[in-house]
Structure 1
Amino acid sequence: MPQSRESQISLIDTHYYHCVSRCVRRSFLCGEDKFTGQSYEHRRGWVEERLLFLGSVFSINICAYAVMSNHTHIVLCVDKEEADKWSLKEVLYRWHQLHKGTLLSQRFMRDESLSKSELFTLHETINIYRQRLFDISWFMRNLNEYIAREANKEDNCTGRFWEGRFKSQALLDESAVLACMAYVDLNPIRAKMEKTPETSKHTSIQNRIHSLIKGEQPTKLMRFVGNHRQDMPKGIAYSLIDYCELVDCTGRCIREDKAGHIEHHSSPILERLGLDSDQWLTLTTEFEQHFHTAVGSEHMMQQFKHHTNHQRIRGMAKAKALLQQA
């Protein structure tokens, strides 16, 4: 029986979530249909463009993504605090980029005068919009419904394009976040679609590497902000160069189809996370196999279980084995 979204998302425990959406039956999101020879490769651009656009509208940061032939992987970070700071007009400006809103919200944005009762109603509406703009379900809805409409229009058909619901995993600590990001970024390599991270089209790692070559970071992805320190800016508390090197090294181990070993001196992230190369390679190649609703250390998963009223959470034993040092 499907779990309610409320039992899968707990901002008390983490702001980071891994979301996966899959097409139904033999529907093709991207790639080439080997049965008909028809190419859907151009749809990768649809997904990436829409995803990055939504990241600029919602108070939800995009940490990693990979657009595959019949599914998408996205790692998101919810920023409720940022949404709470927005003015009334800021909320409406963002919402109106996605939906028409109401007659009152349109009048307010045109600076027309409103009565007290109209203002009261508008404030209630804005509170709803504000909550939706840091809600992962609304983010994924605005992504998947848009792509489904475009694909059905192109295919000249109607009906369901995606599976009924997207899968969501709570990433409860730094080890889970970094391992999941690498798992997502390495999807094309594991699927033997690409040979290197920098050639993996429509992925966050390619986006990051191309920006890194210019000495920059992608403006539409969550930033890497360096090691933990006082007055930390918002972002992922590691070096972007270290992360890219680690993903590249991991990709080579996967690509060579052998056990592989990642030296600690060349991967300071692993050293800081307290993981060895075997644990890391297991996480970045079998992430979805071992965990379901949440991923993190045993202690963090126990807390998440309590806060979301789960009787049990699958993957607790693997968390103990793979993430006990984190």
Structure 2
Amino acid sequence: MTRPRKTQVCIEGTPYYHVVSRCVRRTYLCGVDHSTGRSFEHRRNWIEDRIRLLASIFSIDVSAYAVMSNHCHIVLKLSPEESLGWSDKEVLTRWTSLFKGPTLVQKYIDNQNLSPVELNAVSDCVDVYRKRLADLGWYMKCLNEPIARQANKEDECTGHFWESRYKSQALLTQEALLSAMCYVDLNPVRAGMAITPEQSDYTSIQERIRPKFNTEKSVGEQIELGALSAFDLTIKPLQPFEEAITNSPQNGLPFNFPDYLELVDFTGRAVLANKRGAIDKHLPPILLRLNISTESWLKNSTQFEAKYRSSFAKGPPSIRRSA
């Protein structure tokens, strides 16, 4: 039985979450539908662009992602402290890139004269929007709703596009975070969509190895789709690796990037039966440092959803589209 969101999302407990969204009736989000021969490959761009652009608007970092044929995985870090450093105008500018906002907010952004009462009303809006821009539920709403609308428009149909509300899972330990990231980055390889991680399109592992995200093109396409308003946007990179664990607060991943690449490669090879005899010989140092056994690692990183299925929580009920 799933648990309510309030028991699942707790910044004090962990800022990291694994999120999954699946299409209704397991129809195709992207890729080629083998029953009809119709290609939906272009939709991968929609969702990858949206994941990256929203992370740049929200105070949320993307640790890993993979866009599959009928679902997508994202590992996110909530960073509410980042939004606390934004000015009131920056908060409003970020929010109105996604939603129109009330007239008073528009006047404030345009530097029009407002009365003290109106300024107080704008201040109240800033407080609300600042919290929303650090919220997992609002991030997923802003990701999934435009994709669903555009896909339904393209398919000339109405109704649900996603089979249910997104599901999220708290990642409470370093092993859980590593397992989730590795599981997500290897999803296309396990599904037979790619031979190696670096060849798996629309994944964070490929983007980290061979960066090719085109900011100008992505922003232009999102504006054309009506999912984003034009504004001066600085694209946030994927959450960086910080090499080592320190006692001070860390914004990046507390791992070494070369070690992580070796770990992903090791795990991808280890899932093949004829490679298991060489596992211990090529055991990545990161597993030794974290005192994680080979058997435990392979089980967690290759069967992540199945092993932790009971800990997934459905997202909050649909949030009304607010001005």
Q: Which amino acid aligns with 1:73?
A: H
Partner of 1:35: 35
Q: Partner residue of 2:208?
A: 208
Contact 2:266 2:282 in 1 (8 A): no
Write the distance in 1 (CA, Å) between the matches of 2:119 and 2:281.
59
Structure 2: how far apart are the matches of 1:94 and 1:4?
29
Deviations 1:227-260 (A, max 9, x none): 1246665200111111011101111122456646
Structure 2 partner of 1:248: 265
Q: Which residue of 1 aligns with 2:58?
A: 58
Unmatched runs of 5 consecutive residues or more in structure 1: 213-217, 296-326
- C-alpha distance in structure 2 between counterparts of 1:234 and 1:137, whole Å: 21
Cα deviation, 1:35-85, whole Å, max 9, x if unaligned, reads 111111111111101110001000000000000110000000000111122
Of all paired residues, the percent bearing the same amino acid is 49
2:239 is aligned to 222
Corresponding residue for residue 139 of structure 2 = 139
Going from structure 1 to structure 2, the CA distance change for 1:219 and 1:99 (only over 3 Å counts) comes to closer
Residue 237 of structure 1 corresponds to 254
Q: CA separation of 1:16/1:294 partners in 2, compared to 1, >3 Å: closer, same or farther?
A: farther
The number of residue pairs the alignment matches comes to: 290
Q: Is the 8 A contact 1:190 1:255 kept in 2?
A: no
Q: Distance in 2 between matches of 1:257 and 1:66?
A: 26
Higher mean alpha-carbon deviation, 188-197 vs 248-257, is at: 248-257
User: Given the alignment of the two structures, is residue 120 of structure 1 paired with residue 120 of structure 2, yes or no?
Assistant: yes
Contact 1:198 / 1:205 at 8 angstroms: preserved in 2?
yes
**Larger RCO (alpha carbons 8 Å, 6+ apart):** 2
User: Partner residue of 2:223?
Assistant: none
Judged with a 3 Å threshold, the aligned counterparts in structure 2 of structure 1 residues 38 and 166 are, in CA distance, closer, same or farther, namely same
1:25 match: secondary structure: helix
Equivalent position of 1:168 in the other structure: 168
TM-score, with structure 1 as normaliser? 0.84
CA contact (8 A) 1:168 1:293 kept: no
Distance 1:265 1:88 in 2: 52
Q: Quote how far apart the aligned CAs of 1:6 are.
A: 1.6
Q: Distance in 2 between matches of 1:257 and 1:130?
A: 52
Separation (CA, whole Å) in 1 of partners of 2:196 and 2:236? 23
How far 1:103 moved relative to its partner? 0.7
Partners in 1 of 2:3 and 2:33 — Cα distance? 33
2:286 is the counterpart of 1:269: yes
**14-23 vs 34-43, which deviates more?**
34-43
Mark the runs of 5 or more structure 2 residues left unpaired by the alignment: 213-234, 313-323
Q: C-alpha offsets along residues 59-114 of structure 1, whole Å, 9 cap, x if unaligned? A: 00000000011000000000011112211011011101111111111111111121
